[in-house]
């Protein structure tokens, strides 16, 4: 990406092993993330451009001398952040805060919307998927585990979704729909999806939403309050990241309830005082999903056919059409675009 709205496909040198803990992965599927649209709207022009993408599934091509848990030929999922999976924070389940971890989508670590990728901390980051090859019908659902589904799952997990709870999901993007699916899996009794794009909310209903609220702002708040008998919702999963979504969240959360955010906040300051969170003992939680913490379990669920989170992909392109993929997602013509190699 060279600036707002300016995505180009460039041929660059193949990645190489830089550290003994690296692996090189040949990418089988990658995709465009809703969070990639933030710089697509606002990135200042850059002469050198910025490598994009942080989601992939693929085949290990080469491993550094210190790598022992994956080998050439393994089919793997890469979480959207890399981590050693052994530091204190990783052991507590917060791999996105790993002391040896980091993010893709920059000149140091490259982007994963690419044919080949260097994966730092390969032992801690990559998880092998047994018995799957490039022809598998499960590829979309496995790719969804790299970020989008497990980001939705993280929202539900941090929000402490459990049997009998009423959950409202704000946002009908791919993460919001994933949060619906995860909430259903965790036993939510009622799942209210706030979104206005019918094709998306229809998929949300398939994933387990019991109610759809198309209204926004004060009207949306009033509608959710009406649906919950004036009490509000135990848990709000905020999958947008913009201030109006945050305001809706504290408007509908029940006293003692939880707002769990996974939409990357496009604001730094927000209301948290007596009139918003404090007065009703509302909890605010969430952050970048430690996908690695949830990955083995989710891979099993995909392989068993228990979940099909790959349904969020509604378009597939080749690498040459990635600029069009950004444009389609930005125009909301596509929910989430997969890149096949």
Q: Which residues would be at the binding site for its own copies (CB under 8 A)?
A: 88-89, 92-94, 96-97, 158, 231, 254-256, 261, 264-265, 267-288, 290
Rounded to a whole number of angstroms, the minimum distance from the CB of residue 332 to its own copies is 25
**What does the alpha-carbon distance between residue 235 and residue 238 come to, in Å, rounded to a whole number?**
10
To 10 degrees, the CA torsion angle through 108, 111, 114, 119?
Answer: 70
Residue carrying structure tokens 């790993």? 98
| Complex with its own copies: residue 20 or 279, whichever CB lies closer | 279
Query: With contact defined as beta carbons under 8 Å apart, do 192 and 227 qualify?
Result: yes
According to DSSP, residue 120 is labeled S
**What does the alpha-carbon distance between residue 36 and residue 327 come to, in Å, rounded to a whole number?**
11
Rounded to a whole number of angstroms, the minimum distance from the CB of residue 245 to its own copies is 13
Cα angle for residues 35, 38, 39 (degrees, 5° grid): 115
339 beta partners: 30, 317
| Complex with its own copies: residue 29 or 165, whichever CB lies closer | 165
According to DSSP, residue 87 is labeled S
| Complex with its own copies: residue 64 or 232, whichever CB lies closer | 232
Rounded to a whole number of angstroms, the minimum distance from the CB of residue 33 to its own copies is 16
Rounded to a whole number of angstroms, the minimum distance from the CB of residue 138 to its own copies is 29
| Complex with its own copies: residue 160 or 197, whichever CB lies closer | 160
Structure tokens at 340: 């096949």
| Complex with its own copies: residue 64 or 290, whichever CB lies closer | 290
Rounded to a whole number of angstroms, the minimum distance from the CB of residue 38 to its own copies is 11
| Complex with its own copies: residue 141 or 168, whichever CB lies closer | 168
| Complex with its own copies: residue 114 or 291, whichever CB lies closer | 291
Rounded to a whole number of angstroms, the minimum distance from the CB of residue 232 to its own copies is 10
Query: With contact defined as beta carbons under 8 Å apart, do 57 and 28 qualify?
Result: yes
Rounded to a whole number of angstroms, the minimum distance from the CB of residue 72 to its own copies is 33
| Complex with its own copies: residue 137 or 268, whichever CB lies closer | 268
**What does the alpha-carbon distance between residue 213 and residue 145 come to, in Å, rounded to a whole number?**
27
Contacts of 302 (CB under 8 A, 6+ apart): 138, 141, 142, 145, 308, 309
Q: Which of 142, 124, 136, 132 is nearest to 84 (CA)?
A: 124
Rounded to a whole number of angstroms, the minimum distance from the CB of residue 267 to its own copies is 6
Q: How far is CA 6 from CA 10, 232, 337, in A?
A: 12, 42, 17
């Amino acid at each position: 990406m060279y600036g707002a709205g300016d995505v180009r496909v460039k041929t660059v040198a193949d990645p190489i092993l830089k550290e003994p803990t690296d692996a090189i992965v040949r990418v089988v599927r990658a995709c465009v993330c809703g969070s990639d649209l933030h710089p697509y709207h606002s990135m200042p022009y850059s002469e050198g451009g910025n490598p994009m993408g942080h989601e992939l599934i693929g085949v290990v091509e080469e491993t550094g001398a210190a790598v022992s848990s994956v080998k050439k030929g393994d089919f793997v999922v890469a979480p959207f952040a890399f981590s050693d999976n052994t530091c204190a924070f990783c052991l507590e389940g917060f791999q996105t805060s790993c002391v040896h971890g980091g993010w893709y989508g920059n000149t140091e670590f490259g982007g994963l919307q690419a044919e080949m990728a260097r994966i730092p901390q390969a032992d801690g980051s990559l998880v092998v998927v047994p018995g799957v090859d490039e022809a598998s019908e499960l590829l979309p659902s496995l790719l969804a585990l790299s970020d989008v589904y497990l980001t939705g799952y993280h929202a539900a997990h941090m929000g402490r979704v459990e049997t009998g709870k009423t959950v409202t999901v704000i946002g009908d993007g791919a993460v919001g729909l994933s949060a619906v699916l995860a909430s259903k899996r965790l036993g939510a009794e009622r799942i209210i999806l706030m979104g206005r794009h019918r094709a998306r909310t229809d998929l949300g209903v398939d994933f387990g939403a019991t109610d759809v609220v198309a209204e926004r702002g004060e009207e949306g708040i009033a509608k959710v309050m009406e649906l919950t008998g004036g009490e509000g919702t135990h848990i709000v999963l905020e999958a947008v990241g913009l201030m109006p979504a945050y305001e809706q969240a504290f408007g509908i959360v029940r006293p003692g309830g939880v707002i769990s955010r996974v939409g990357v906040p496009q604001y730094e300051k927000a209301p948290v005082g007596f009139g918003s969170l404090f007065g009703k003992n509302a909890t605010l939680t969430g952050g970048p999903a430690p996908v690695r913490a949830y990955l083995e379990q989710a891979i099993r669920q995909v392989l068993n056919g228990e979940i099909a989170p790959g349904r969020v992909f509604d378009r597939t392109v080749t690498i040459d059409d990635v600029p069009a993929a950004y444009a389609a997602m930005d125009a909301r013509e596509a929910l989430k675009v997969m890149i096949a190699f």
